[in-house]
Each structure stands twice: as structure tokens, then as C-alpha cells.
Structure 1
Amino acid sequence: MDWLRRPALFPGRVTPAGGGAEASLSVLSLARRAWTERQQDGHQALLWATQVLEALPGLALAGKQGVQLQGRMTLILAEVHLQHLRLDDAEQAAAQARALFAAVDDACGLADVCWLHHMLAADRGDTQALRQSLQEALRHAERAAEPERQLYFRIVMARSDMLQDAEQARQAWAGRLPESAEGLSSMCAAALADYLGVREGLLSHFAASANWFELGFEQALASGQLRRAMALASNLGFTFTAASDYARAIDWLQRGLALARKAGWPGSIGLCLAQTGEAMRRVGQVAAARELLQECLDTLDGHPVSRTILLALSYLGQVELDSDHAPQALALFETLVSRALQVGSTDLRLDGELGRARSLHRLHRLDDARGVAQAALGLAQQLQQQTMRVELLWLLTAIARSAGATSAVVLEGLSEAVTLAGAIEGYRAPPGLLEEAAEALAAAGRHEEAYAHARRAALVRRDSLSDEAAKRAAALHLHQQIEAMSAEREHLRRLAEAESARAQALEDAHQVLTHLSRIGQEITAELVAERVFEALERHVHALLPVSCMAIYLLDETRTQLVCAFGVEEAQAFVDPPVPVDEVHSYCARCVRERRGFVLGIDERPHEESQVPGTSEMHSVMFSPLMISERVVGVMTVQTPKVAAYGHREELIFASLCAYAAIALDNARAYLRLSELQRHVMAQEKLAALGAMVAGVAHELNTPIGNSLLVASALLSDARDFETQVQRGALRRSDWQLHAERTREGLEVIERCMDTAAALVRSFKQVAVDRSAEQRRPYELLELCQQCQQSLGLMLRRAGVHLQLSVPQGLMLQGYPGALSQVLVILINNAVTHAFEGREQGRLLLESQLVGLDQVHLSLSDDGVGMSEAVLRRVFEPFFTTKFGQGGSGLGLSICLNIVETLLGGRIRVSSEPGQGSRFVLELPLVAP
């Protein structure tokens, strides 16, 4: 089927909704292979398409895209059925595909279904459906905004119009189609070449027609349009036949037949066999023609109403008549008439009736022959087939003569045939008809008219001979043109090969540069020297022949080179330091001269440079690692192969060394920066510790001071009470007063100590003890529900409603206790600060899965919000807006520490005054 090679199989990205992403991608790959190979290997494409259709229910591809995929696979089934002339099965599968595409309004798919119906109509000989389906295909292509499909369908429509009425088609399509295939896809180029070849052939421009057909044949093969390639080979055969170049005609017909046999499509095989057989009959190869036509009938034996088999019956009947096998010819023509009536093919039925009449005449069944010929004459008159009427009138006259009719009757019949032939524009009466008419006129004594007819017959024969000679001359000229075109094509082919080789070299260079660019990005992205060495060693083997590789870096004093990395035959080594002023060291020379060089081309390695116990290297490259004018070190690659490094390898090596120099300098700078950062962080930690201790001391001062004050008062009161006891002057009221003061003082001390103890516990939570937390899998919704239940009483007393919006079944791996602690702190913080001055409030705890490995858990409130100044310091230790009112300023700091250390995530907050606040926890599904 001549569909576009790259259809809109999946508009947009097909996202699997289930069944496993890996399995879905495998099925999609199989579907694309089935679509691409449907004409190259229809049997395999059919198997793949069936497998895809069977796998689709288990994959549950998303909506429209899944239906489109099912429609495309069904369309493959329809095309394979069509290739093997299972026309009813093809029509049924096409109807299923149409329903699928219509359900999702896939205009592109509907256009391709209509094209398949167009081909079905062609194989059935349904001329009305042929154009209707083509027009419908064009409408759908326009609706789908598919310009390539639109152009393709227009070209095919123009070709169809050209075969119906060439002059009208030329006027109708003038300027609407390209006149050159340049810039077109192979699909459209093949179709355009076919159309232009037909147009030039109808103008008898055989050389131009053959040239277009040959171009179309090449483009059809290039784009996998086997059916069109077979048709173009047949067109070339008839073009050369019209030019009387029968050798080339048969050659092209046989090429088309070879393609059809290789594809194994019975319809195409049968058509090629029929057309080749007719060409062989015309050149007098009757036996070969009979063999080919009989093979055509055997091939299409299961499809008796195919138009191809009707053509074969007509051609084979003519072969039998040429061989004087009238009975066999009669049987063939009778079968042709019967089947032509069955399918409504009037033109082939008329051919069959004429053949029947001639066969009956040869068998001397004159009455039967006369009846068949007269019925056929009426049909020809009805169909306005004037040339066929001439043939039938001539045959009726021959039948009458055989039946012993009078000269007057014979003369009347011949005169009527001659008169009709003269009235047909552009038609020349057969010389035999004119000669018979001249004889009849002479027998009737009408010698002047007889002479005129004889002279006319002679002129026709002469013109025929002249036409034949002209055709042969044209064939010779055409042959020369074709040879010249072939030579030109060969020249262009060689130029194309040279250009292709040059383009391939450029493509190779581009790929190397692209590869080097990717390597450079990878290497320069590393900030650790060891990883830079690993990346270089991995990539250098992919680009260069290397047995030994080493990197030497200048030390801090820049007086010697230190071997930072070395590997030979997959074995690591470390060379001793090399002084920069070492005379026999190539590395030192490379640093001193600030240039690279290749040993084995520029010069031979000297003996002093060979390390004892190592393999001799015949090809060696050295290059300095430089950043601007500053040398960082030296890199070398070596191999025992002779002349292994040329200009190309030198350029690649220089590029690798440039990337290596940048990466190693970055790594050294990063190491220094890391040391500086560690120093600054240590200083910051000490400063933070001092601030934290000062804050703790300040917070503990009040409860401890109050406790000391109350304890001093109690101690003084106890001493006074002891004095009164010693004096023995105690009254009952003194006992009661002492007990009351002692109880009140102890209560104050207890409260203060509780406050201090709580402050110390909160301070201890700042450093999370990982060893005290159990790591396990847990469900996020269940954990949130537990927090809601444990805080239920506090929330009800505060008039706060907590709503959960967490999906069920979301599993995490980590520390549920730590996450519970964070949520409790955040909820307590919201109750304490967000709803100040209000009797009620709302909290929303919700989660959302982000990507494949992260979840966002957020707590929102509709409270008073925070100012920008508060928002900037909200996670600082001991920062609180409730100093002296129960706030310690450690809650959110504890949350930050737990989330970023133990849970491996991030916490962020957003808020505006009067708009509430929102805390978001960005957590990995698997904690580190």
C-alpha cells in the first residue's frame, strides 16, 4: 500500500497508564516496526501487529492514544489482507479501523483508511468508488493539516484524471503540482514521477516519459512502495513497447514480475504476468505468452472475478486464436464474458463477445457466430465504442461470405464498415478491410470506386510502414537518449558517491566533535581529581588507540612534576617525581616548551626515556595541560602500534587535554574552597554554639533564679520556726502558717524546675540522635491520622479543625517517629501563633507525589500570617515572638534539623500578613 512511510502513528507522546512503563515501551517499539515493515515483510508485520493488539488490553494506554494505536494495527491487518487478495477480510478490517479512528476523530487515520478503500476499489474494478474514496481521503488530510498527504493524494488524483481525459486534466492541473521532484519526500517524488511519466507518454514523448518512470521506480523502492514500483516497471514496459523497443519493454516487465514474485503478492504477480504475456504475444512469442498467462490464471485461481484475471483470459484467448486453437479460444472467451457480466465490466465483456464471435467463425458455427457478433454490435453501439463496431461489422461480413451470401450483401457490409471507419476522427481503416472492399466493388463492376479503395489501402499500408519505420527510428533515438541518460546518471552517481564520502567524513568529524563536547561537559562538571582521571581514562580508549596513559601535575613549588595518575594495560602505576629541568624527560620538555609533540612521527623516542621493565612504545603523544598561559601539568598516551597517531588523533588528544586542564584546575580550586568552607563553618559553629549557650543560660536564669529566691525565703522561715520551737512558744497558728509558706514555696520551686527541665529537653532535641530512631517502611496517611488523634484534645480546646488530604497507600521508607515529631511541632506552633485573638481556625495537612521518588507534605493555616522580618528568622534557634509567654524559639529550628539531616529533605515556608502560613516538607520516599 502506498501510504506515507512516516504516518502520524502517535500524535504527541504516548504515556502508558498501566501495565508497566517498560512493557508499554516494548509494545510501542513493536508497533512501529510492524508499521515500517508492512510492505517489506507483510507476514512478519502481521505477526507483530497481532501481538500488539493482544497486548493492548493489559497495558491500558491512555484514552485516544490507545485507540489510535489499535486503529493503526488493524489497518496493517487490512493492508496485508489486501496484498494477498483477501479482499473481504481487508474490507472488514478497514471498516474496524475506520470506526476506531472516527471514535477519537483522528483525521489522519481516516485519510489512510480512505486510501486503503481506494486501493480496494482498484482491485475490484469499481471505478466509481475509486474516485470517491480518493476525494474523501484528501478531505480528511486537509482537516488533519497534513500537507504531505494532501500533495500525495492530489498527485494520484491528477494521474487518474489524466488517464480519463488527458487534455482536460492537463488544463485542470496546470500550475497546481510541482514540475520537479527536488525537495520532495521519496513517497511524493515517486507519485509525481509516475504522474509526469503518464503525462509525457500520452504526448508520445517517450524518452521523457521513460526518464520520469525510471526516477519514480527508484524513489518507490527507496521509500518502500513495492506496489508502486511494480506498476512503474509495467509502465516502462508499455512505454518501450509503444516506441517499438520490445527488448527493453520485456526487460522492465520482467523486473516488475521479479519484484512481485519476491513480495509474494498474488494480485501483483498476476498483473505482471498478464501484462508481460501480452507483450510477448505482440512480439510473436506465442508459446512464452501462453505460459505466462496460464501462470497468471493459476496464481489468481481463487479470485475468479478479479479484473486482472479477466485481462488474462482476454489475452490468452487472443493467443489461442493466433495459434489457430479455436475451441480453446472459445472456452476462454465464454468464461471471460460470464465473469465480466458478474462484476459489471462492460469493456472486458465486449472484448469477450468479439473473441467469441471470431472463435465461432473459425469453427464454422456461422449462425452462432452471427448471433454473438450482432449482439456485440448492439452493445458496442450502446457504449459508443466505434472502433469495436468497425471490427464487428467486418467480422459479420466475413461470416456472411462464409455462409454463401451474395456479392451485394458482402459489398453492403464492407461499405458500411469502411464508411464508419472513415467517420472516426484520428482512426485509419485497416488495409485488409479496404482491400476486401476494393475486390467486392471490382466484382460488382464499380471499378473507379474499387481503384479508390485499393489506392487508399496502399496509402494506409505505406503510412503504416512509414509509422513502423518512424517508430523504429524513434526507438533507436530513444535508445541513444536512454544510454546518454544512463551515462549521465552514472556520472552523477559517482559524483554523489564522492559527495557522500565527503559528507560521511564531515559527519564523522561532527560526531567526534559532538562526542568530545559531551566528554568535555562530563569532565569539567567533576570537582574531584580522582573522578576526572577516571572519566579521562574511560573516554580516551573510545577515541584513541592507547596502551599506556599518564597524567603529571606540577607541585606547589612548580619545580617538579608529580605522577597523579598512571595506567598501563589496565594496571595502575605511579612514577617518581620528575624535575622540570630534567633533560631526558619528555614530560619536563613539554612543560618547558609549552607545546605538545608526537613521537613516532616528529621524532623517534630516545633510549634514555624507556623505563626498564616496560613495553616499548612506538607511538607516543605528549601535551601540556594549560589554562591560558599557565601550565598545570602534562598528559601522555602511548601504544606499541607503529604510526598510530596522525593529525586527527593529535587534534582529539589536544581537545581532551584542554578539558582535562580546566577540570583539574577546577578540582584544585574546589579543594582549596572546601578547606576554606570547612574552616568558616567551624568558626560559624563555634559562634552559633556560643550564641546558643548564651540563649540557654538566659532562658534558664529566670526559673533557676526564682527557685533560689524561694528556697532562700523557705530557709529563712525554717530558721525562724526552729528558733520558736527551741523557745517552746509555738502556737497552733504558727504551725499552720509555717506549713502553708513551705507548701507555696515548694510549689513555686516545682514549677520553675519543670520549666527548666522542659527547656533542657527541647535544647537536647536540637541535635537529633539517629541511633535512637528505628528505620522502617510506613504509610503516610496512617502516620498523619495518628498525629491528628494524639493532638485531638488540644485542637478541640483551641477550637482548631485539622483536615487531612493525604492519598491512601503512599508508602515511605525512613523514620516515622522523627516525621511525627516534626508534624507535632508544626501543629503546636500553628495553634500557638497563628490563631491569636481568635476562637477558631482551620489547618489543612495535604500531600502530593512529585516525580517517582519525592513527596511534598504541606501544613496550611488560615491564621494571621507572618511579616517578612519574622519569615526571614523563623528557623533560627531561640527566635520567638512569645518570649516570656511560654515560647522557647527552638521548635522550628528542631524541625529544620530533623528534616534536613535525618529525613534527607527540605523545609520551606511562605506567608503574608493576614493570609495565613504554609509550611512545605519536600521529602524523599526513601530517607538516606
Structure 2
Amino acid sequence: MNKAPALYELNSAVEALATNIAALPLAEKFRQLANLAWHQRERNSAWALELAEQAEQGLQAMPAEQALQVAWRLQLVRIEVRRLRSEAAQDEALASGILQAAEAAGDWISAADCCWVLSQLATGAGNTPACCAWLERGADYAERAGDSSRQQILQCSQARYAGFADPDAVEQRWGDSLTRDTAALTAPAAAITLLYAAHRAMRASKLSESAQGFSAVIEPLQQAGYIREAIISLVNLGSIFNDLNDPQAALEWMERGLNLARVHGWPSSIASCQLQLGETLRLLGRLDLAEQQMTAARDCLAAWPESRNFAVTLGYLGWLALDQQRPMEATSLFTELQALGGYADLQLKAQRGQAHALFDLGQLEQAETCALEALRKAISRGATELELELCLLLARIAQRQPAAPEGKALQYLERANQGGQSIAGYKNSGELLNALAQAYADAGRYREAFETSQQAANSRAQSLSRESANRLESIQLRNLSESARAQTEHLHQLAEAERQKAALMQGNNATLEKLGLIGLQLTRHLDQASVFAALSQHIPALLDARAFEIYLLDDDGMGLQSVYGLEDGESIPPSHIALSEPSSNAARCARERDELSIQLAADGSDPSQVPGTMRTLSALFAPLLIGERLLGVVTAQSPLADAYGEHERMVFRTLNAYTAIALDNARAYRQLQQAQSQLMAQEKLAALGALVAGIAHELNTPLGNSLLMASTLEQRTAEVESAVLTKALRRSELESYFNEAKAMARLIMLGLESAARLIGSFKQVAVDRTAEQRRPFDLAQLCEQIVATLQASIRKRGHRITLDIPPDILLDSFPGPFGQILSNLIENAMVHGFGERREGHEGLMNLSARRMSGERVELRFQDDGVGISAAHAARIFEPFFTTKFGQGGSGLGLSVSYNIANSLLGGSLTLDRSVVNGSCFVLFLPLKAPTPSDDSAQESGGQGESKF
């Protein structure tokens, strides 16, 4: 039962696993859910994630060591799905951490699977050496675990990837050793072995053998769950038909691969198919269509600029630009490819393409320099065919150069011809031989010109013969493929017939499947009322449960309270049972924490029978347990004797397990809602407190100034009065006093008016915030009032805010909640956007608005802070999500703002991800807010029973 899942598994085994899960004990069921999620990672990624979530709920019901292994497996499932979906994440570090833990625990199977996942991450990033290193390490772990199937899969994959970089080294190390003894291999291991053989034949230019290999392996790959490898094999098959000069057949296979990739929605797989499809269209001369496919592939693969696929895309686009007579664009593309570095074969082809582009631009000296450098590298690498192509290009350059030495072009052409003759099985092209014949004629060497022209004619005839042979071979391969497909379809039909026959012979499977669906429905709900409604719907269809009741344990653990009960379809009045009650079977079930099956006396004399209720002859009691934690008790009762056999007890037991999970989830969710409500209330109080503190700070200046002026005026008045009494007052002193009094009175009035305005703004904003009062208001005025109350905090932190709001935008809405949104956005910008900016580096915020069609207004709040990363942008409106935990961030500010905007104000709050510098939030609001519904949500609890 504790056997680890295979790395890959056949569809039939995965379907059987899904069917049998419902009948397993609780802990084993959750473990197998994790295994099912693992096997669905490529078949159905979305379902794999759902299964992983369900399995995670059961970790606490497992032994600690097993729970840890299952937790690792669930993490690997999520990493694999993110990889396939091309979702950015720190998955390499996460997988490496799991690998270290698995190594420390001596869990070699988990360690091998971690290496597999890391190898796939590496190849996706274009790091083939790292991919091969992880596969070799994983094969060692599989050998330690004694898992020959895993070892074969990892070794064949290593040999396949290593062949891209150094095919000769791969042949020396493995050759055909991996394909000799395949009889004892599992089907998934055999499929990967066949795939390795097909790649090996393709590298050896055995086109017919490789085409048959890829054609034969596609169906086994899909059956074993290697969906991505099946897509790649379809594309490779198309490339082989291109080499066989049958681009129409190539298009068919590549379109099949593209369709399969689109079904699963994997961006990188779709881009790989589009890339090869575009190259095939280029060879067919369909240049516009080719450009569409290649450009789409480049846009997707640009997320992995170091990958080989992206480099190949640049090269293909470069040759396409040459075909389209756009040499400047080709030069740019080949330059970009060379700047990437790595991939020596692609770099050399890029340099050759660059020379072609410069030649087309008429830059002959630069073209010659580039071609000579490429020729030197081709010679050092032993790339003889590329050497011939470069010699032909250099000859064409020499023919165009007026000052080229006589015979220079001929030397290059003779060198190319001699090089072609040195390659076993290579036939010099008609283009080369024609150019050489013309060069001989221009040099007056007519005999050699005639002989070479004869060779050119023979070469053209042989080329046509080869093309015909390739075409015939392609037709034969097509027929073989169609025959294989028909055979596969026939086998599918036979398998389906056997499956239907087995389904008819296993009647219990229908009940188990139904229980599985009921379990999914129960555990999906997060409130008790929905759980009870689902139970009352399904239990009568599975059991003779004329009476059914659920008790939950009191908080003090001393009694059971009935929360839901039915008897003949009618609700049962609630009741309470002390856990110490000796005559209560429900209390006994809770005390013993064990299932009870009871047969009662037909005359009703059993002490647990409650007078006035349905006469019960059979009863089942089962504890609601989450691990060792007791939630309550469930009972089902029937007026029939011996109503519950082993089958019925199994059904009842399974339902109780699902019910316990559902009720525990509902309780946890209710507690989470309560905690969230408390935090939201605290958030509002904190905002109001900050508002009061800000206003107090703002009032200090005008009131202080007014107090100073008033005391000064009082002092000057006393001085003048003393002078009057002593008859020492001069006219000039009196005039000076009048002037000073007027000035000080004016300053006092200005200070008090400023304070009055601030208090007025505060009174309006504070009243709006403490109650959701709806009223008409001018948007510009309200925003000025709100910003005024926050200016103290903004200036204190060294930042600045500007407003750009047209006057006369009138709203009939809720100013208080709107003010809370604006306050949250300003605070969010200062805490997260600007962070700890040093003095002299102020943060700038701008709030702008414009009226839109359809009686709406758009507000944009933008700052020039650090911005929001792509990883965080998708989660910023989630409750409790913050990057400042422990630093003042509650994770509720933007969540609360989002809920207010979308519900109470009837609008929307979004993040504009197109903004590069800083961040920008966009708030759309109707000029007239919707009228809130008066309906209040009611949470219905169940009615209890008074029996047992």
C-alpha cells in the first residue's frame, strides 16, 4: 500500500486508480489522491491541481513520514504544472530544497523524481548540460532504490538530450545498449526507449527508420502520459518529412502537434510547434504565413532568451528575412543570435547568414570578412557541408568584386568541389557544378568547363531521382502511419469493449464512484447548511436511513448538541446529550470513538428508544474524526431489522469521513471570516486614528500662529493703554499700534480660517468614514478634503501628491468608503512603493480623473515608486497578502479597497500592468452608485433530534 508512484503510468492504470480511490481507508485515500495528481500533471493539469488541494487536506491523517513524502510529491506536481504552463516561479530552488530533504531521509524515489523535475526545468531554460547532469544523478538514485523502470527512463532521456550537443560522445557511451533488452521493461519505460531509438536514427540521417520510430512511439507516449514528448515527436516527424521533400505531409504532422499543444494550453509547446511549422511554410514559399507563425513563436519564447528554441527562432527569422529580400532585418536578427552566445552550431550558421545578408546589401568587403571567419570555424569544427556552402558564397563575393585577383572565385569553387568529393555519399549540387563550369569557361579552360557541365547535368538527374525516391519513401511511410493508426484505433475499440464488460461485472463500482462524487460535493462546501443539504439529498439514495442525525461536540467536550436531523423527511427538534449519559448510544460512540451497529428490540423496550418517535430496529453510529480529533457523531436509523450489512456500513463509513472533512472545513472557514472581520475593523480604526493624528498635527501651525498673534496684540494693547493713562502717548505710536493691530488681526483671521477649513474637512471625512452615508458630492472637492487630512503624513515622510481632477464631476455615492479606498492607495504607495527613500528623493503621487461615456468616471492613482513585480501583481487584491508582514502590513488594505469598489460602489479597482515606472491603480465608478440589497444572508443551522 505504501509503494511510491511510477514516474509515468499507463492510462488504464490511472483510470483504475481514480475509480478505486473512494473505497480506500481515509489516510490511504488521500495518499492515492496525491499519486493521481502526479499522474494527471500532463494529462489534465487543472485537475491535477484540484487533486493536489484535496490530498493536502488529508496530510494530518497520515503518519508523519508518509505525510512528508506526500507533501513533497504535491509540491513536485505544482512545479511540473507551472513549468508546462510557463508560469514564472522560484521552482528550481524549491525542487532543490525537496531534493536535499529527500536525500537526508534516504528516500531515493523522491530524490530521483526531484532530479527529473529539475532536468525538465533546466532544458526549458536552455541549459542542456545541467539537464543531463540532473538526469544522470536521478538515474543513480533510481538504481539505489532498485527501480529499473525509473532508471531506464532517466538514462534514455539523458542520452537523448546529450545527443543534441555531442552525438559522437553519446554513441560511444550508450550506442544501442539501451535498446537491447526491452522485453522486461514497463510500458512507460519502453515508450521512452523507443523515443531514444527514433532520435538516434534521426541523428544518423536514417530518415525512413526515424520516421517509422516517431510514428510508432506517439501513441505509446500518449498512453503513458508523456503528452509533451508526444507533441515534440509529432513536430520531429514533420521535420523528417521536410527532409524527404514532402512538405505537405510535414504540415499535417506539425499541425497535429500544434493542435495537441493547444488542447493543453502550454505556451512553450505551442511556440515550438509554431516555430517548426513556420520553417516548413518558408520552404514551401508561403513566406507571409511563415512569418506569422515564427513571430508568434518568438513573442512567446522571448521569456526564455537563453533557450535553444529562442536561438533557433532568431536563425529561422533571419533566413526568412533573406527570402523576403530584407537583408537589413536579417543582419539585425543574425547579430542578435550571435550576441546570445552558446550553441556553437547555431552561432556558425548565424555567421554564415550574416555573410549572406551583407552580400545582398552590397557590402562585399564586410561579407567576405564574415564568411572567411565562418569558414575558419567550420574547418576547425569539421563541419564540411557548411564549409562547402561558405566556399560557394565566397566565390560569388569574388565574382562581384571588381578588384578581386583573377581566379580567386575559381579557387573557392574548386575547393568546394574537392571537399564535396571527400564526403562519403555526398553529391555536389547542380548549383555548385554550374558555377564551376562557368568559372572554367571564363578562364578559358573549356575542356574542364565542358566536363563540369556534364557533371552538373548528371547531378540534376541524380537529384531528381533522389527526390522521387524520397517522395516514394514518404508515401510508403504515410501508408505505414495510417496502417498503424488504424491498428491503434482497433486496439482502442477492443480495450473499450473489455472495459465495458468489466464495468458490467463490477456493480459495486457504481456505488463507489457515486460516493466519490458525493465526497467531492461535500468537501467543496464551506458552510454547514450546504453540507447538511447535500447529505439529505444523497443519503436516502444510498441507505435506508429513515432517521438521520448529526451531533457536534460542545466546546467544553462534555456533551453533544444535535445540529441537524430528519425523520421521514421532517426536521427533528434539537436536543442535547451529556457525554456521560449511560443509555445514549451516541454518547457511547463518542466516548469509545468507534463505530456501532445496533439491533434494537422489536417491542420498543430498548432503553435508548425515545417514546413518541419512529420505532427503530436497526441503527448505525459513527464518530466524526479528523485524525485523532473528535468533532461529533452521526447516526442513521431504520425501522427494518438487519437493515445494515457490510456494504451499507462501508457506505456509511465513507460518508462520515467526507462529512467530518466538510464540517471541519466549514468551522475553519467561519473562524477565518471572523478573524478577517476583526482585522478589517482594526484596519478602519487604525485609518481613523491616523486621520485624527494628521489633523491634530495640521492644526498646530495655524492655531499656534493665531495664539502668538493674539498674545502679542494683548501685550501691545496694554502698552498703549498705559501710555494713554500717563498721557505719554504720541500720535506716531498710536498710528503704529493701529497698523500692527490690523496686521495681527488679519494673521489671526487667516490662521483661524485655515483651522476651520481643516476641521470642516475632518468633520465631513470622519462622519463619512464612521458610517456608510450616501450623499451627492463633488469629486474634486472630496478628493481635496481627503488629501488635506493626509498631508501631514505625506509631508512627514518627504513625499508629494498632486491632483488633476476637473470640477463639476458630481457623484451620488458613498464618500466615506471612497475616502477609505483613496487613503489605502496613498498609504500603500508610501509604505510599499517608496519604502525607505532617503532625504532628497521624494516620492511623487498623482490622482487624476476623467468623465467617461456611460455615466462613469475613471480615476487613476499613479506613483513613481519601485513598482509591483509580475509575481505579486496577480495576488495584490487577495486578503492577507502582503510583502510587509511584521513591518506594519496587514495584507487587507488593497483587499478591502477592492471589495468596496466592486460591491458597495458598483465599480472596479484594477492594476494597470502596462505602466513601467512605479505602479498605477485604475478605479472605475458609476456616477450613481447602485442601491445596496436589503437582503441579509442567513446561515441556517440544522435541527437536531431527540433520539439516541
Please, what TM-score do these two structures have when normalized by structure 2?
0.48
Kindly indicate whether structure 1 or structure 2 has the higher relative contact order, using CA contacts under 8 Å at least 6 residues apart: 2
Q: Which has the larger radius of gyration?
A: 1
Please, what TM-score do these two structures have when normalized by structure 1?
0.49
